[in-house]
Structure 1
Amino acid sequence: MSTQETAPAATPVAWDHPAVQELCTEQQAELRGRYDDDGGAEPNLPAEEMLVTLLVHVDGQPVATGSLRDASTYGTGSGEIKRMYVRAPYRGRGLSRLVLTALEAAATARGMRRLILETGVLQPEAIGLYRSAGYTPIPRYGPYVHEADSLCFERALLTVP
């Protein structure tokens, strides 16, 4: 990185930001290719459920995103990680961990004590990220209960008294 470049940052944006929606469309297309299906259990997410959406730019290009959703229906103080995605040419640079860490911080700032998420058996990169970040397997929940290819995880968040 030259002295003029800045380190990527995860910037809060609206869920319906055009770059976020473009990245989410790419993510869903990639998942359809991996799983040979029509979009999974939750192809469309309501904007009003997204508490925080982050966007990462590299050299002025939007390359990564992720969102935090209210998941209190799965337990008081719960949030859910949604639509984590990094464009293929930018993978392996720590951008997914950057987004995940920022979403965890946002959840903690909102008083959440637990994060849950769903990924799939054909996404070893995501599984590795979540396991290395301290997420542990849980039974499939909500719309994923009957999705055989789904893997669900949770992580307790440290709360500041």
Structure 2
Amino acid sequence: MQLTIEPEAANSVIAKKLIAELSVELGTIYGDDGSGGFDPSDVMVPRAAFVVAWVDGEAVGCGALRPMPDATIAEIKRVYVRQDMRGQGISRKIMEFLEAIAHQYSYTGLMLETGIQQPAAMALYENMGYSRCDCYDLYADDPRSVCYRKEIK
């Protein structure tokens, strides 16, 4: 398996396709596709990124990094890997790539939100050193949300 992760425009055809796949999955799980929490233009600004994971030339996953109002913190968004490619460490590699970008952009903290019905995602984040924190912004009063934070150096 040849895995590469590369920056991609968040409004590209492949990015839109992966985001749409994630939205369908979230809609199935929660009855809400989660699109209200992500605007592609949020990651088309300085100190932001959208990345795509490729396996043997096929786009299989994505993730994004966007600045938060506190300029020292970024939020990780839209981490997704196609179901048939899960269990191979691709999500972890996407997260590591986004963390490296965050470090390059001089962020000192990362935040993210996932849902209570996504135990694999929660386990990944906790395994990578993320700690649960109070939910923020539009997730603050959502009982389906679980939020995480990690300090980076």
Q: Normalised by the shorter chain, which TM-score bucket?
A: over 0.9
Equivalence for 1:47: 41
Equivalence for 1:150: 145
Once the two structures are TM-superposed, the CA of residue 46 in structure 1 deviates from its matched residue by: 4.0
Asked whether the equivalents of residues 23 and 35 of structure 2 are also in contact (C-alpha less than 8 Å), the reply is no
Instruction: Give per-residue Cα distances to partners, 1:104-125, cap 9 Å, x unaligned.
Output: 0000000000000000000011
Once the two structures are TM-superposed, the CA of residue 87 in structure 1 deviates from its matched residue by: 0.2
When Rg is computed on C-alpha atoms for both structures, the one with the higher figure is: 1
Matched, 1:17 2:22: no
Match of 1:100 among 92, 95, 102: 95
Match of 1:66 among 63, 67, 72: 63
SS in 2 for 1:30: helix
SS in 2 for 1:10: strand
Counterpart amino acid of 1:108? H
Name the CA shift for 1:79/1:29 in 2 (closer, same or farther; >3 Å).
same
Mean Cα deviation higher: 130-139 or 41-50? 41-50
Mean Cα deviation higher: 130-139 or 8-17? 8-17
Asked whether the equivalents of residues 41 and 144 of structure 1 are also in contact (C-alpha less than 8 Å), the reply is no
Equivalence for 1:134: 129
Give TM-score, length-normalised by structure 2: 0.92
Asked whether the equivalents of residues 79 and 115 of structure 1 are also in contact (C-alpha less than 8 Å), the reply is yes
Give TM-score, length-normalised by structure 1: 0.88
Instruction: Give per-residue Cα distances to partners, 1:39-89, cap 9 Å, x unaligned.
Output: 347254141444111111112211010000011x1x340000000000000
Counterpart amino acid of 1:151? V
CA-based RMSD of the aligned residues comes to 1.4
Equivalence for 1:4: none
Equivalence for 1:114: 109
In structure 1, stretches of 5+ residues that fail to align are 2-6
Counterpart amino acid of 1:143? L
Q: How many pairs does the alignment contain?
A: 150
Where does structure 1 differ by over 6 angstroms across 4 or more consecutive aligned residues?
Answer: none
Once the two structures are TM-superposed, the CA of residue 20 in structure 1 deviates from its matched residue by: 1.2
Matched, 1:78 2:110: no
In structure 2, stretches of 5+ residues that fail to align are none
Asked whether the equivalents of residues 8 and 56 of structure 1 are also in contact (C-alpha less than 8 Å), the reply is yes
